Structure 1
Amino acid sequence: MGPLSIAACVSLAVWLWLTFGQGMFWRTDVRLPPRTPPARWPSVAVVVPARDEAGVLPLSLPSLLAQDYPGEAEVFLVDDGSTDGTGALALALAREHPGLPLTVCSPGEPEAGWTGKLWAVRHGIGLARAAAAGEPEYLLLTDADIAHEPDSLRELVAAAVSADLDLVSLMARLRVVTVWERLVVPAFVYFFAQLYPFRWINRPAGRTAAAAGGCVLLRTEAAVRAGVPESIRQAVIDDVSLARAVRRSGGRIWLGLAERVDSVRPYSGLGDLWRMVSRSAYAQLRHQPLLLVGTVAGLALVYLAPPVTCCAGLLTGRPVAAWAGAAAWLLMAGTYLPMLRYYRQSAVLAPLLPLTALLYLLMTVDSAVQHYRGRGAAWKGRTYARPSDA
């Protein structure tokens, strides 16, 4: 058996293992766990870090202010050095859309050793805990581009209380409108779930830990016990680091797909999506060159080898390569279909996953290149040259 057939068979074996042995990562039925309304609704502080978010705030902030929550709740928007009038716009929106109380503050530039977002989160949590209403029992950490249905907070809290969870996180449904969004965005969530299978995360005694930073409900007591955000202050991939810190401190965590929580941030072109992925891709690999080489080789074997060996086998008359490559390609496309359905996209995109994987491979390489050029994780005018992830 030649190298082409060997590559096809190895890729097929990997896909068989991924399909049946990687926590059923491809299934999209992990939603909020069964829940009942608590006898007493705990108090909640909603913390929203925002840096230059005037473009999306009119679509997101009113949804937070309009939360139909039976208990005490307050919104703290932390303007992280914005230059586009984010803070003033937030106050204006609160006047136009009265609802939950809103406090807008700005902590200034982050201290050394802090990423901007976690510096803003720290300030927001501090304000919430010092508020006149007293320390909140839960913290909802949500990004400025996330829109919530009116019952979102109520359902999150009910799930946390019913299952006695310290952290409940929902992977917000990202916007999928443009051609590039259709090609790249569903795959982003698919790859994330492959790295961090939700079923493994949600095991009470599991070792896998991750969260989705756009929507995290965190018990305040658990945050104090885990020392967050101070203990993860340099983390670029802050959501995964947060979940790990909570789990290490003995907390119970849960992650699933959202039904009524959506990101309104547009990614109009490939460049915007490229920056979103590349800013943290090499940090995910802990800035290790060997991990980068292994990741590139793995992506090539798992995602590129199936179509290449299938087509090459057909053209050169190697039936083993052709059929093994086709079977691996079919498994790949089949496991991608549930995510495409979740995002209400055409099944035609499923066979194109190798193309999307090639884009992610190039984004990962570019992330490493930018790191070694000293540009690190650049986002909204700030660069973190050598971030660390807790």
Structure 2
Amino acid sequence: MGQTAHVSADVWTSVVTVVPALSLAAWLWLLLARGFFWRTDIRLPAREEPAVWPSVCVVVPARDEAAVLPASLPSLLAQDYPGRAEVFLIDDGSTDGTGELACELARRHEGLPLTVASPGEPPAGWTGKLWAVRHGIGLARAREPDYLLLTDADIAHAPDSLRGLVSAAGAGGFDVVSQMARLRVESLWERLVVPAFVYFFAQLYPFRWIDDGRAGSGRTRRTRTAAAAGGCVLLRTEAAERARIPDTIRHAVIDDVALARAVKGSGGRVWLGLADRVDSVRPYPRLHDLWRMIARSAYAQLRHSLPLLAGTVVGLALVYLVPPVAVLVGVVTGQVSTAFLGGAAWLVMAGTYLPMLRYCRQPPWLAPLLPFTAFLYLLMTVDSAVQHYRGRGAAWKGRTYARPDGVPGPVPEEG
């Protein structure tokens, strides 16, 4: 009996030492070998204004956006752009007067010309947003634009936003220039959840890996990592036609990543970074609002795969939850090595989170709370899978999108 207890104690000691050691090793790998995802210095590339400004058509899909449109649409109409540009707002079956409000805002605010149109209900196999984008691109093609700016109805642009995007695309030879809009961070739950949203996105798709540097930035290895931020995507029209955007991604719930993959897969070049002068004006004051926003696409990100879901849950637990638990266990049981390893992993975790908190203009004391936020994301991901199998997955604004049969999942990412 005493020998059995001794063996059990040895096993326990090994577990409480090895598991936090694995967590620390994972964090050291993330710190040094995951494209320095935690840095926030990837901003719009150096710009060289062209001698002749290309023409641009701005496409804004909008469904029930009357609450945010007054804070976003006037910023598009007021763009200080030297070339030819116009805006197409595609009203995707709104019931709150979005289209009428857009016309009224255009009458009140001088600036770029605005066309408001409606595509009708999307056919089977199309998401509503991409059906609206398709209709907007179809209208824009009559103007033969050099670029398309795809931007959401809740995104406000500084007056020089379009100018900067086009300059960066031309100077860098990019087919896609996308900026992740600075998200609103005001309520308590926004402070806890929103900076982590961008942090986790960058961890999945390190911005440095997205542009493979064929124009001479020092990278010589072609990478398959591709992503964009759907709120602000400048797309070269020629690249859109080559990649057959949006038809090839018509079923995609995570349409921005799918767009970037399609463009890159057809030989295009993609750049993604953080925005300084492009802002989301949509509020998420309650945890419920944020939960719905994240859970609607979390399981789609995992390709609706139960093994990937299980691996994600285990990975999140090992990387984010083990460090604080190890510190607590080490302190309670007197296992100094356990507490040290857990504390070291927690310190690295918090340190990598600080740059994102600074970017989001949040206090540094939120950094040690990242394990709690990661636990929320774990629950949201599990809930996303549960809702999927209940037939309510990817539900948004009155529509539910199931993954079409025979549609292949995304290509795995690599650096």
Residue matched to 1:302: 319
1:61 to 69, 73, 79: 73
2:340 to 318, 323, 341: 323
CA distance in 1, matches of 2:352, 2:151: 29
CA distance in 1, matches of 2:223, 2:90: 34
**Residue identity opposite 2:48 in structure 1:** T
1:43 to 40, 55, 65: 55
**Residue identity opposite 2:23 in structure 1:** S
Residues 127-156 of structure 1: CA distance to partner in whole angstroms, max 9, x if unpaired?
Answer: 0002xxx31000000000000000000000
Residues 143-188 of structure 1: CA distance to partner in whole angstroms, max 9, x if unpaired?
Answer: 0000000000000000000001000000000000100000000000
CA distance in 1, matches of 2:186, 2:132: 30
**Residue identity opposite 2:122 in structure 1:** P
Question: After the TM superposition, which of the residue ranges 34-43 and 52-61 deviates more from structure 2?
Answer: 34-43
**Aligned pairs for 1:365-384 within 5 A:** 365-384=382-401
Residue matched to 1:156: 165
1:283 aligns with 2:300: yes
Deviation at 1:320, TM superposition (A): 1.2
1:102 aligns with 2:114: yes
> Contact conserved, 2:175 with 2:236, CA < 8 A, in 1?
yes
> Contact conserved, 1:75 with 1:102, CA < 8 A, in 2?
yes
Deviation at 1:39, TM superposition (A): 1.1
**Residue identity opposite 1:348 in structure 2:** W
**Aligned pairs for 1:159-308 within 5 A:** 159-204=168-213, 205-308=222-325
Residue matched to 1:30: 42
Deviation at 1:329, TM superposition (A): 0.1
* Number of matched pairs: 387
CA distance in 1, matches of 2:250, 2:337: 51
Deviation at 1:218, TM superposition (A): 0.2
CA distance in 2, matches of 1:139, 1:274: 31
> Contact conserved, 2:190 with 2:284, CA < 8 A, in 1?
yes
2:123 to 111, 114, 118: 111
Deviation at 1:385, TM superposition (A): 2.2
Rg larger for: 2
CA distance in 2, matches of 1:3, 1:314: 16
Deviation at 1:376, TM superposition (A): 1.4
CA distance in 2, matches of 1:301, 1:271: 26
Deviation at 1:386, TM superposition (A): 2.3
Residues 269-321 of structure 1: CA distance to partner in whole angstroms, max 9, x if unpaired?
Answer: 00000000000000000000000000000000000000001111111011111
**Identity of aligned pairs, percent?**
75
CA distance in 2, matches of 1:320, 1:15: 17
> Contact conserved, 2:251 with 2:403, CA < 8 A, in 1?
no
**Residue identity opposite 2:182 in structure 1:** R
> Contact conserved, 1:376 with 1:386, CA < 8 A, in 2?
no
Residues 114-138 of structure 1: CA distance to partner in whole angstroms, max 9, x if unpaired?
Answer: 00000000000000002xxx31000
Report SS of the residue matched to 1:262: strand
**Aligned pairs for 1:334-345 within 5 A:** 334-345=351-362
> Contact conserved, 2:24 with 2:344, CA < 8 A, in 1?
yes
> Contact conserved, 1:80 with 1:107, CA < 8 A, in 2?
yes
CA distance in 2, matches of 1:104, 1:15: 49
Deviation at 1:250, TM superposition (A): 0.1
Residue matched to 2:371: 354
Report SS of the residue matched to 1:222: helix
Deviation at 1:206, TM superposition (A): 2.3
TM-score when normalising by structure 2: 0.92
CA distance in 2, matches of 1:313, 1:246: 50
Residue matched to 2:152: 143
Listed as ranges, the gaps of 5+ residues in structure 2 are: 1-12, 214-221, 411-415
Report SS of the residue matched to 1:2: helix
Deviation at 1:96, TM superposition (A): 0.5
Report SS of the residue matched to 2:61: strand
CA distance in 2, matches of 1:380, 1:229: 21
> Contact conserved, 2:91 with 2:116, CA < 8 A, in 1?
yes
Deviation at 1:268, TM superposition (A): 1.2
**Residue identity opposite 1:314 in structure 2:** V
**Residue identity opposite 1:232 in structure 2:** I
